[in-house]
């Protein structure tokens, strides 16, 4: 029997590649969508769950029968931050269903004790905290929820997302951002690799191209 992954944010920039990469690696996918796309409806390896990520019944339906959860939830600019609210609901539902593995993404500007950021990255993080204070506070709350969850979680910190036509080498670092950009296809590849890779469980690695 194939392992099944729940994907939140599967129609976003990284999400498209997440679904494709998951299928290539032999996984079945349950994907949360607001409006089902005809192109996905006929794929036997994809189950579309229509609804809102804030609805407990929708999240329960999405996660049922899954072995792992990948969260790339994105929201419109200037909207009230929902990252911690969605993550709290996902954590609660994962516990009910006894799912352990969670892989999510956050911004590289999220500062964590133990970081050894370069001057440039420290300045960038400071600017983000000033310009997007509400969002950054919500992302800190999201991290705290994961730390208290007792799940096998990994929260990946990302630089600017910029598309490349081909996959490139992925640089990884636990303490500082190793580059200024990464492509959606490489984010997807790294996230899928983490499902059965214990190296970053309970950690917040940076990745870049």
Domain at 151, CATH number: 3.40.50.720
User: What whole-number distance in Å separates Cα of residue 66 and Cα of residue 56?
Assistant: 16
Instruction: Compute how many other C-beta atoms are within 10 angstroms of the C-beta atom of residue 77.
Output: 7
pTM: 0.94
Of 5-19, 78-92, 147-161, 186-200, minimum mean pLDDT range: 5-19
Domain that holds residue 37: 4-208
Give which of 195, 196, 179 is closest to 104, Cα–Cα. Answer: 195
Task: Find, among 201, 204, 84, 104, the residue nearest to 145 by Cα.
Answer: 84
Nearest to 32 by CA among 8, 12, 56, 14: 8
| Kind of pairing between the strands at 160-161 and 68-71 | unpaired
**Cα radius of gyration (the chain):** 16
CB 187 within 8 A of CB 159: no
Q: What is the pLDDT of residues 27-51, one digit of tens each?
A: 999 999 887 765 566 788 999 999 9
More confident residue, 164 or 93: 93
Residue 150 has pLDDT above 90, yes or no: yes
Residue 168 CA to residue 143 CA, distance in Å, equals 28
| Ordered alpha helix ranges (H), 98-132 | 119-131
Q: How many domains does the chain have?
A: 1
Report whether pLDDT(163) > 70: yes
What is the DSSP-derived secondary structure letter of residue 200? G
C-alpha torsion sign, points 96, 189, 28, 75: positive
Q: What is the mean pLDDT of residues 120-127?
A: 91
**What's the mean per-residue pLDDT of the chain?**
91
pLDDT at residue 77, as a whole number = 67
Reported as a single tens digit per residue, the pLDDT across 98-117 is: 999 999 999 999 999 999 99
């Amino acid at each position: 029997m194939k392992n099944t992954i729940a994907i939140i944010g599967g129609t976003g920039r990284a999400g498209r590649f997440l679904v494709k990469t998951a299928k290539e690696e032999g996984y079945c996918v349950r994907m949360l969508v607001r409006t089902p796309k005809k192109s996905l409806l006929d794929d036997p390896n994809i189950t579309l769950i229509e609804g809102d990520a804030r609805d407990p019944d929708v999240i329960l339906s999405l996660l049922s029968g899954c072995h792992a959860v990948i969260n790339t939830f994105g929201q419109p600019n200037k909207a009230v931050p929902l990252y911690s609210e969605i993550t709290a609901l996902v954590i609660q539902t994962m516990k009910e269903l006894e799912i352990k593995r969670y892989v999510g993404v956050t911004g590289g500007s999220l500062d964590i004790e133990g970081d050894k950021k370069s001057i440039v990255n420290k300045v960038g993080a400071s600017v983000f905290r000033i310009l997007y204070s509400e969002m950054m506070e919500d992302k800190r709350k999201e991290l705290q929820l994961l730390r208290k969850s007792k799940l096998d979680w990994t929260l990946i910190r990302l630089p600017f997302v910029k598309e490349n036509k081909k996959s490139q080498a992925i640089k990884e670092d636990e303490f500082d951002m190793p580059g200024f950009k990464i492509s959606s296809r490489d984010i997807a590849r790294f996230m899928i690799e983490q499902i059965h890779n214990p190296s970053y469980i309970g950690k917040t690695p940076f990745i870049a191209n």
